[in-house]
Structure 1
Amino acid sequence: MNKVTEFYQSLWHDYLLIAPQAEKVHQLFATTDGVVVNDHVAFRTFAHTPVSLDKLETVILSLGYERQDSYQFKEKKLRAHSYIHPDNQVPKVFCSELLTEKLSEASQAIIARYTDQISEATALTPELFWSGRHWNAPTWDEYQQVLAESEYGAWLLALGLRANHFTVSVNHLKSSHSIEEVLHRVKQAGFSVNTSGGEVKGSPAALLEQGSTMADKMTILFAGDDPHEIPTCFYEFARRYPDPDNANKLYQGFREANADKIFESTHAS
């Protein structure tokens, strides 16, 4: 077994621990299609820390990836890179970070109180991507304060480093041929879907259509053994269209407008 295969097996195991809906959604399509192909996986992190986007990039590149493109999400105060592997059977990676300097001083102070606990000697290895929090659990009040300004920041503060979502490649399904059909099946199975900007984000003209479930919810222990239920991770679906620059190849990039709405799959509100 090569290191990329091991990476995704470990990642999937950790993902299912806090997103049990993913196993059920996966089985929904595995029952009719056998193999369910993963289009991409996504991660979140904090800028200006020992686990910043630039630091995590070195690990992603060590797995054989190359950077594909970069993205800015000004309203959400994020930046991101996407990565592609020379083996087209290997999922793409989308990794983003919260630009904490763009938050209020109050939120910056809360986040810094915890990210300052990250060791500068943190090993830059693939295990980082399912390592969880590298800081103590925040208080519920601190979580709520950050949440009011950045849902992304609150999610990351509570859950740490782990796969935010896996993505079913609709192009590889034989039983469902459109995002609409996929989302209908998901809803019929009892799962909520992200309706921000519409259930389907993107269009054939944009060469990429995406949709997703809303994140699972799980009780997390905050500081002082204070339990609260919060959103964890979700499952995405992507359909790609032929690239006009290469009609024999599907478009492999991402669209900022789509991703902006997909981020909201973990929103608590």
Structure 2
Amino acid sequence: MDYPTFFAQLWDDYTQLNPQAAIIRARFGGAQVPNDHVAFRTFATPELGIAVLEPWLLELGYRREQRYVFPDKHLQAWGYVHLEPTAPLVFLSELQISALPDAAQAILARLLGQMTLPPDLGYGLFWAGRLWPAPSYAEFQALAAVSEYAAWLAVHGLHANHFTIAVHHLGVSLQEVVDSLLADGYPMNTAGGLIKGQPEDLLIQAATIASPVEVALADGLYTVPGCYYEFAQRFRQPDGQWYSGFVAANANQIFTSTNRATNSAMNQPAAGAARGQ
């Protein structure tokens, strides 16, 4: 598989969880809109950790660029760049389950202990979805209370968590993009400000709030955070090249785009949910 095919399949899967992303992309030029990067979430386990996912990226022509650590969220991550400079970057993070409270570890141990990992997934591992039984809503809430990342991943499994428009290739500023989205009523992530970072960091970013989606959990249908769309404006380095890294402080704020607190509709059963099943 080549990287354009890989990202095309990722996009098809991603827009199932975030249909508004296709609408947003269309307003800025549709399929021709340059993708800055895609991010993935996973658990730091022998079956699903970065060490398992990374070889597929390397086979596509990527290499490790820089490591990032988020102690408050119990995450570590790597940024990846491709041999082809116009290819999207990749941000791959994993949750250190052992850093969570015992009760949360027990929930994840039960779920992941029942994981079914088909041997022939190949690149499809990146859009394989949930490979374990659905948690109950109470388990989802218990996980979210200590790690929104863990709760999101337990419910959805493996997908592109977000795509990112490369604003610096659009001929407009990130502020203009944000103002346009706000004017049309798109909820935006305000953690750390609407625009995260400073030009001197060589990267500024913004993101929508994850669209709510209905999912079937162990005890019924519930509304939970889905995926979000990000917007990145990069600046050139002294050598004239676009900055190709990430800024940990920005990413730490953007992670909150999937937090339940951003939308009250995400804290209740979906309309017509079948409870107690």
State the TM-score, normalizing by the size of structure 1: 0.94
Distance 2:16 2:216 in 1: 15
Structure 1 segments of 4+ aligned residues over 3 angstroms from their partners = 119-124
DSSP-derived class of the 2:191 partner: coil
User: Of the candidates 113, 118, 126, which is equivalent to residue 116 of structure 1?
Assistant: 113
1:167 to 164, 169, 182: 164
Q: Alpha-carbon deviation of 1:117?
A: 2.2
Distance across 1 between alignment mates of 2:198 and 2:121: 37
1:252 aligns with 2:244: yes
Counterpart in the other structure of 1:53: 50
What residue identity is the alignment partner of 1:260?
N
Match status 1:64 vs 2:61: yes
For structure 2, the 5+ residue unaligned runs are 262-277
CA drift at 1:35: 2.1
**Which amino acid is 2:207 matched to?**
S
- Measured against aligned partners, the alpha-carbon deviations of 1:240-262 in whole angstroms (never above 9, x if no partner) come to 11113x1x111110010010001
**How far apart, in 1, do the equivalents of 2:216 and 2:121 lie?**
27
Q: Tell me how far apart the structure 1 counterparts of residues 29 and 228 of structure 2 sit (CA, whole Å).
A: 17
Match of 1:19 in 2: 18
2:235 is the counterpart of 1:241: yes
1:263 aligns with 2:263: no
Q: Any conservation in 2 of the 1:217–1:229 contact (CA below 8 Å)?
A: yes
Report if the CA contact (8 A) 1:212-1:236 is conserved.
yes
Higher alpha-carbon deviation: 117-126 or 254-263:
117-126
Q: CA deviation at 1:171?
A: 0.9
Secondary structure of 1:72's match?
A: strand
Tell me if the contact between 2:174 and 2:205 (Cα under 8 Å) persists in the aligned partners. Answer: yes
What's the CA shift string for 1:27-72, capped at 9, x where partnerless?
11117xx721000000000012401111111111111100111000
Written as runs of structure 1 = structure 2, the 5 A alignment for 1:143-222 is: 143-174=140-171, 176=172, 178-222=173-217
Cα separation, 2, equivalents of 1:64 and 1:141: 42
- Please, which of 74, 78, 83 is the counterpart of residue 75 of structure 2? 78
Letter matched to residue 45 of structure 1:
T
Structure 1 residue runs of 5 or longer lacking an equivalent are: none
Conserved? CA contact 2:117–2:131, under 8 Å: no
RMSD over aligned CA atoms reads 1.4
Q: Which residue is 1:4 aligned to?
A: 3
Letter of the structure 2 residue corresponding to residue 232 of structure 1:
G
